[in-house]
Amino acid sequence: MPAQATAEAVSNQTVWKEHVSWLDRVPRSVAMVALMAAFLAFWQGLYMTHIVSPIIMPSPIETIADLFYVGGNLLSGDYMLAALWVTTQEVLIGFAIAIVVGFLFGLLVGETAFGEKAVMPYLVAINAMPKVAFAPLFVSWLGFGIASKVALASFVALFPVIVGTAAGLHAADENARMLFRTMGASRLQTLIKLKLPTGMPHFFAGLKNAAVLVVVGAVVGEFLGGGKGFGELIRVAASQLNPPRVFSLIIYLSLLGLATFWVVVWLQRRFVFWYKESVDEGLQ
**Are the CB atoms for 177 and 194 separated by under 8 Å?**
yes
Query: What share of the chain has pLDDT > 70, as a percent?
Result: 88
**Are the CB atoms for 59 and 65 separated by under 8 Å?**
no
Mean pLDDT score of the chain:
84
Across 20-29, 182-191, 266-275, least confident range: 20-29
Taking 90 as the threshold, does the pLDDT of residue 104 lie above it? yes
> Cα dihedral sign for 178, 170, 271, 102?
negative
Q: Return left, alpha or beta for 173; rule: phi > 0 is left, psi -120 to 50 is alpha, else beta.
A: beta
Higher pLDDT, 23 or 83: 83
Tens digit of each residue's pLDDT (9 = 90 or more) over 182-225: 887 787 888 888 888 888 888 999 999 999 999 999 998 888 87
CA distance 64 to 81: 19
The confidence score (pLDDT) of residue 281 equals 47
Tens digit of each residue's pLDDT (9 = 90 or more) over 149-165: 999 999 999 999 999 99
Nearest to 149 by CA among 162, 161, 136: 136
CA distance 153 to 42: 34
Higher pLDDT, 171 or 253: 253
Higher pLDDT, 133 or 15: 133
The confidence score (pLDDT) of residue 53 equals 79
CA distance 167 to 160: 10
Please, which contacts does 145-151 make with residues 24 or more away whose CB atoms are closer than 8 Å?
A: 146/86, 146/89, 146/90, 146/93, 146/227, 148/221, 148/225, 149/90, 149/94, 149/217, 149/218, 149/221, 149/222, 149/225, 149/227, 149/229, 150/90, 150/93, 150/94, 150/97, 150/218, 151/94, 151/221
Tens digit of each residue's pLDDT (9 = 90 or more) over 216-268: 999 988 888 777 888 889 988 888 888 899 999 999 999 999 999 999 999 98
CA distance 233 to 249: 8
Helix (H, G, I), strand (E, B) or coil at 83: helix
**Buried/exposed 112-141: b ≥16 CB within 10 Å, e otherwise:** eeebeeeebeebeeeeeeebeebbeebbee
Taking 90 as the threshold, does the pLDDT of residue 174 lie above it? no
The confidence score (pLDDT) of residue 7 equals 52
Query: What share of the chain has pLDDT > 90, as a percent?
Result: 30
Taking 70 as the threshold, does the pLDDT of residue 66 lie above it? yes
- Count of C-beta atoms within a 10 Å radius of residue 258: 13
Taking 90 as the threshold, does the pLDDT of residue 100 lie above it? yes
pLDDT band of residue 13 (cuts 50, 70, 90) is low
How remote is the C-alpha of 19 from its chain's centroid? Answer: 33
| DSSP per-residue string spanning 152-217 | HHHHHHHHHHHHHHHHHHT-S-HHHHHHHHHTT--HHHHIIIIIHHHHHHHHHHHHHHHHHHHHHH
Whole-prediction pTM: 0.82
The confidence score (pLDDT) of residue 282 equals 45
Taking 90 as the threshold, does the pLDDT of residue 92 lie above it? yes
